[in-house]
């Protein structure tokens, strides 16, 4: 129906299921492009993670399947717009609005970590608003699963530069604590409009992430907001704020009813203007202008794909994984 997004390996399309007329977001990834960039394992992990998620603030996978050339993820169409989109329009959020989004992210992150998953790519572009105004965390292409213990470690250098924790930049092994660094970065960005150590020069930004003081002088922060940001942005991952119970008890969240939050019983501070299930008014015009029949990814370098690279990729939420190599 329409192009509603684009990533490194393909596009996201708004589609309609013929029998029910229900609309979904269909993520289409080119197998050859994935292979050429050495991202087969990350893509398999994304499918594995998505198939297990069941949480109000995390994206829901309904089906996944494949053709000879492509992989397909069928997800809920979340049409309230990216948090990035709304932050760009409004420049910054007040503390109550930022706190609400942060709380829903904390809840989603706690769930991910309890399932042994490190997110590794928290940023406003990967956070959508539902039509009611709730956060939906998306894009698990950089996630890592199987880290069930609190001190389980991994070492891959990946993520978005502005949100990288110091231990990733140093090349150290790291734990789930990196995600809480990103939460602190995001809270600061929601309150000011920019990440705390942002510069256009990437190397300089890495240096600032490693050494610079957090600047609280340009905007008003409550004492509690400053404290939680400082504790999330502790450069020592061992003392960084990362225990979900401790986070929820922090003074910044003192009025938050976490049970009501998880049950979607707290009214969001902002409700996007959405007229219908297929309303695309909160989607970037850059995507909507694309011709759905034309695909720029066709020109990208492609690598060889082996028969079993995406074995067991097919999935239906009602019945779990389908047989090996099954195509729908």
Query: Closest by alpha carbon to 86, among 96, 107, 101?
Result: 101
Q: What does the pLDDT look like over 181-218, one tens digit per residue? A: 999 999 999 999 999 999 999 999 999 999 999 999 98
- CB burial of 72-96 (b: ≥16 within 10 Å; e: otherwise) equals bbbbbbbbbbbbbbbbeeeeebebe
Backbone angles phi, psi at 28, to 5 degrees: -115, 120
Q: What does the pLDDT look like over 3-57, one tens digit per residue? A: 998 877 789 999 999 999 999 999 999 999 999 999 899 999 999 999 998 999 9
Assign 15 to helix, strand or coil. Answer: strand
* CB distance 230 to 222 below 8 Å: no
Q: What does the pLDDT look like over 249-266, one tens digit per residue? A: 999 999 999 999 999 999
Please, what are the domains in the chain? 2-78+276-321 (3.30.200.20), 83-262 (1.10.510.10)
Which one is predicted more confidently, 283 or 319? Answer: 283
| Residue 212 to residues 79, 209, 286, Cα–Cα distance (Å) | 37, 6, 35
249 known ligand binder: no
Q: What does the pLDDT look like over 125-154, one tens digit per residue? A: 999 999 999 999 999 989 999 897 788 889
Q: What is the pLDDT of residue 328?
A: 27
Annotated catalytic residues are 121
Could you identify the residue written with the tokens 């709304």? 86
Q: What is the pLDDT of residue 128?
A: 97
Mean per-residue pLDDT for 223-230? 98
Q: Rg of the chain's alpha carbons, rounded to an integer?
A: 20
Query: Closest by alpha carbon to 58, among 7, 1, 154, 122?
Result: 122
Checking phi first, is residue 154 left (phi over 0); if not, alpha (psi -120 to 50) or beta? beta
């Amino acid at each position: 129906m329409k192009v509603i997004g684009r990533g490194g390996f393909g596009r996201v399309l708004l589609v309609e299921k013929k029998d029910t007329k229900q609309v979904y977001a269909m993520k289409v990834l080119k197998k050859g492009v994935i292979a050429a960039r050495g991202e087969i394992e990350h893509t398999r992990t994304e499918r594995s993670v998505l198939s297990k998620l069941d949480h109000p603030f995390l994206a829901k996978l309904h089906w996944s399947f494949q053709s000879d050339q492509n992989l397909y993820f069928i997800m809920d169409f979340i049409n309230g717009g990216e948090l990035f989109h709304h932050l760009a329009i409004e420049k910054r959020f007040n503390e109550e609005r930022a706190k609400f989004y942060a709380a829903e992210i904390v809840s989603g992150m706690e769930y991910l970590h309890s399932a042994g998953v490190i997110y590794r790519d928290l940023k406003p572009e990967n956070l959508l608003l539902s039509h009611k105004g709730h956060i939906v965390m998306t894009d698990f292409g950089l996630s890592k699963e199987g880290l069930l213990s609190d001190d389980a470690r991994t070492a891959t250098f990946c993520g978005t530069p502005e949100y990288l924790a110091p231990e990733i930049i140093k090349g150290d092994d790291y734990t789930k604590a990196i995600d809480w660094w990103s939460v602190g970065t995001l809270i600061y960005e929601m309150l000011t409009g920019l990440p705390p150590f942002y510069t256009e020069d990437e190397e300089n930004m890495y240096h600032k992430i490693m050494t610079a003081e957090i600047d609280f002088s340009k905007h008003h922060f409550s004492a509690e907001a400053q404290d939680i940001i400082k504790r999330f942005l502790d450069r020592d991952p061992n003392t960084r704020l990362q225990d979900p119970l401790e986070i929820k008890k922090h003074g910044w969240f003192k009025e938050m009813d976490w049970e009501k939050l998880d049950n979607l019983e707290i009214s969001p501070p902002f409700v996007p203007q959405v007229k219908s299930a297929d309303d695309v008014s909160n989607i970037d015009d850059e995507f909507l202008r694309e011709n759905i029949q034309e695909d720029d990814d066709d020109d990208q370098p492609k690598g060889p794909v082996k028969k079993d690279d995406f074995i067991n990729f097919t999935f239906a939420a009602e019945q779990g994984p389908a047989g090996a190599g099954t195509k729908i």
